[in-house]
Amino acid sequence: MIRIGIVGGTGYTGVELLRLLAQHPDADLRAITSRTEAGLLVSAMFPSLRRHARIANLTFSAPDDGALHACDVVFFATPHGVAMAQAPALLEAGVKVIDLAADFRLKDPAVFAQWYGMAHTQTGLLAEAVYGLPEVNRAAIRTARLVGLPGCYPTSVQLGLLPVLEANLVDCQTLIANCASGVSGAGRKAEIGTLLAEAADNFKAYGVAGHRHAPEITQGLTAIAGRSVQIQFVPHLVPMIRGIHATLYARVLPTAREVDFQALYEARFANEPFVDVMPPGSTPETRSVRASNMVRIAVHRPAGTDLLIVLVVEDNLVKGAAGQAVQVMNLLFGLEETAGLTQLPILP
């Protein structure tokens, strides 16, 4: 059994980690921390977890009570800046660290400071950290001790463009990502923009002038392509709780006009347990992946154009966060990659 700790278990990604790990055959939940809720039964805050054998007696503890150092792996489901403060001591104690926030995503500390408004205090660890997108970095993740998990939007965009960038089939300077997310992507906090009366019956763009996921997307796509990449990323808020829908546009290079892109995507993801390439003509829906770790992709090539359109859907709290974190944990400890992640999506 893997001894597991969670730092910051009161948010949406924290409770999603609990839901998934409670059903994981090799997970032993040892500690879950919260400064404000120390001593409270986890099931008292989240009644959805009541009467589960692994969680029934689990209580929130103070972050400094020492229990985390006795774990094999610690997940950080915290605001940005927390993991880089606590990770060094945990790593020194031999604990593996998976950060669901942004502390170890961006390789350039100056870029991190620009977008997250704080200096990076662990630049040495930043260089060591592995970017936790299994479909790209599976081998490196297996031998890592520190993993920075991708953001939800960057996961959908990178997976959607992965095959054509690897094969150098599209113009890397004119990429467009038009993405929409449910309100849970903003976290479990009181904020005017995510109030029911503000978000319901509404559709809006935000971060058009610049979003903190943009440099992460560019960094990831550049690494995949092996050359400079320019992408215009525009996120939108939609009145639903879970889900991301990414519509990606790429111009096909003249030398690639005869490529069968459907076949390309099917071949690239044939052995990926959590990427489903839909049949030709499909338009995947966010509800088709709700509460699952699955990503569904559809490839379109409008007749008479040089445009490739890729549609990607994922659950932002699962494959976009907690589920991908569990997938990474499975790789770190040599388990089946799908362990604890075989839940089917829920409908309606």
List residues with catalytic annotation: 152
Closest CA to 204 of 230, 232, 177, 183: 183
Sign of CA pseudo-dihedral 128, 98, 153, 185? negative
Euclidean distance between CA atoms 219 and 292, whole angstroms? 27
Which residues have CB under 8 Å from 189's CB, separation 6+? none
Give the whole-angstrom CA distance, residue 325 versus residue 70.
Answer: 20
Contact (CB, 8 A) for 321 and 339: no
Residue 254 is encoded by which pair of tokens? 């003249």
On whether the CB atoms of residues 217 and 153 are closer than 8 A, the answer is yes
Contacts for 16-20: CB closer than 8 Å, 24+ residues apart: 16/317, 16/318, 16/321, 16/322, 16/323, 17/75, 17/77, 17/322, 17/325, 17/326, 18/42, 18/46, 18/49, 18/55, 19/48, 19/49, 19/322, 20/318, 20/322, 20/323, 20/326, 20/340, 20/341, 20/343
Q: Which residues pair with 98 in a beta bridge?
A: 75, 147
Measuring CA to CA, which residue among 348, 347, 345 is closest to residue 292? Answer: 345
Please name the residues in contact with 166: beta carbons below 8 A apart, sequence gap of 6 or more. 224, 225, 268
Whose CA is closest to 6, among 55, 44, 48?
55
Q: Which tokens belong to 110?
A: 């100056």
Three-class DSSP category at 264: helix
Q: Strand, helix or coil at 327?
A: helix
